[in-house]
Amino acid sequence: MQVPAETADPAAAGAGAPAAGRITPRGPVGPARGTVLLAAGTALLAAAVLTSLAVGAHQLGPAEVAASLWAELNGTGSSYADDVVASRIPRTVLGIMAGAALALAGVIMQGLTRNPLADPGILGINAGAAAAVVTGMAFFGVGATGANVWIALPGAVLTVLVVYGLASGRRGSSPVRLVLAGTVMSAVLMSYIQAIALTRPDVFSLYRFWAVGSLSGRTLEQARDILPFFLVGLVAALATGRSLNALALGEQAAASLGVRPQAAKITGALAATLLCASATAAVGPIGFVGLAVPHIVRSLTGPDHRWLLILSLLAGPSLLLFADVLGRLVARPGEVLTGVVTALLGAPLLILAVRRMRAVA
């Protein structure tokens, strides 16, 4: 028997309903507490952005960063500090976009599947993007960056469409069938990737850097390429809060509350796909952000997806940017790729989440 993850209106249901992650939630977020959480999340993100621009092989002070940003905006930058900040702006912008996209996609996937361990890759999005990139490298001469955005994005979207086609039945797609179909597609695509990469050393040498996931070596052009998809996914994601709250009660209860379950699922899946696909296309398949952030935020807000989505929008970029900075610090003058750092940080959080999950009869 499955226990619903949350109510359609957490304020009305109280704190008795367990969160999607089976972590005992706090009570409903009121206006005063919500304002505090929003202010804290905004301050954390501002600190992450400043740290990303200031910290690296060459350290800069806040005043230098501010002066260099002003010079960059006016087109008058000429000092060494100006060049350093200019080189860090693309990875910071992409860190904000990718962190927000992965965190929001994680919230949606956990809500749609009612699976506390779901992440954006559960529908095979990462595997689809990676398979498309490997195909482009092997047969169309695509390099490690640049055109990857326009190859990985349709590959991820096509994979999700196939997963939904496999999982759909007469009564629509259930969370269990979605997970199973996504797992099967991921296994098939990963086998294809390994077959190509291991038999083509030239492809493997290019693919292995992209596959780990990193913010380094990216450009603002890549951010502009994914911006339309990111914005559409962002708007769709923020509009799913009430629907996800209702779906947590079950499809019949959601329908009685005026929510169309299939339409809500399609909207949520579309938002998660666009967000995760655009982030993966730009920075590679970075893991654990979409899994860890919803659990962290849920422990502060309780089960209401409306607050989960808003605060994850702030917490996701903060986590990714701090992970990127940590990767620069531990291996100076080189750096550890961001995907490696997020995996090292996310694994303990995943273990903690599993240990705190409640057994469901």
CATH number of the CATH domain containing 146 = 1.10.3470.10
Alpha-carbon span 359 to 187, nearest angstrom: 28
Q: Is residue 222 part of a domain?
A: yes
Alpha-carbon span 223 to 8, nearest angstrom: 36
Contact indicator for 321, 48 with CB cutoff of 8 Å: yes
Model pLDDT, residue 341: 92
Domain holding 242, by residue range, is 40-70+94-356
Work out the average pLDDT over 115-124. Answer: 80
Give how many domains the chain has, as a whole number: 1
Contact indicator for 20, 302 with CB cutoff of 8 Å: no
Model pLDDT, residue 12: 44
Q: Is residue 20 part of a domain?
A: no
Q: How confident is the model at residue 211 (pLDDT cuts 50, 70, 90)?
A: confident
Contact indicator for 154, 60 with CB cutoff of 8 Å: no
For the chain, how many residues are written? 361
Work out the average pLDDT over 167-171. Answer: 72
Q: Which of 13-22, 167-176, 340-349 has the highest mean pLDDT?
A: 340-349
3-class SS letters over the chain: CCCCCCCCCHHHHCCCCCCCCCCCCCCCCCHHHHHHHHHHHHHHHHHHHHHHHHCCCCCCCHHHHHHHHHHHHHCCCCCHHHHHHHHHHHHHHHHHHHHHHHHHHHHHHHHHHCCCCCCHHHHCHHHHHHHHHHHHHHHCCCCCCCCHHHHHHHHHHHHHHHHHHHHEECCEECHHHHHHHHHHHHHHHHHHHHHHHHHCHHHHHHHHHHHHCCCCCCCHHHHHHHHHHHHHHHHHHHCCHHHHHHHCCCHHHHHHCCCCHHHHHHHHHHHHHHHHHHHHHHHCCCCCHHHHHHHHHHHHHCCCHHHHHHHHHHHHHHHHHHHHHHHHHHCCCCCCCHHHHHHHHHHHHHHHHHHHCCCCC
- Whether the per-residue pLDDT at 9 is higher than 60: the answer is no
Residue-wise pLDDT tens digits, 293-350 = 998 898 888 889 999 999 999 999 999 999 999 999 988 878 888 988 998 887 776 6
- Whether the per-residue pLDDT at 107 is higher than 90: the answer is yes
Model pLDDT, residue 149: 73
Q: Is residue 122 part of a domain?
A: yes
Choice between 324 and 254, residue whose per-residue pLDDT is larger: 324
Q: Is residue 17 part of a domain?
A: no
- Whether the per-residue pLDDT at 67 is higher than 60: the answer is yes
Model pLDDT, residue 15: 41
Q: Is residue 5 part of a domain?
A: no
Q: Is residue 138 part of a domain?
A: yes
Q: Is residue 19 part of a domain?
A: no
- Whether the per-residue pLDDT at 267 is higher than 70: the answer is yes
Q: Is residue 15 part of a domain?
A: no
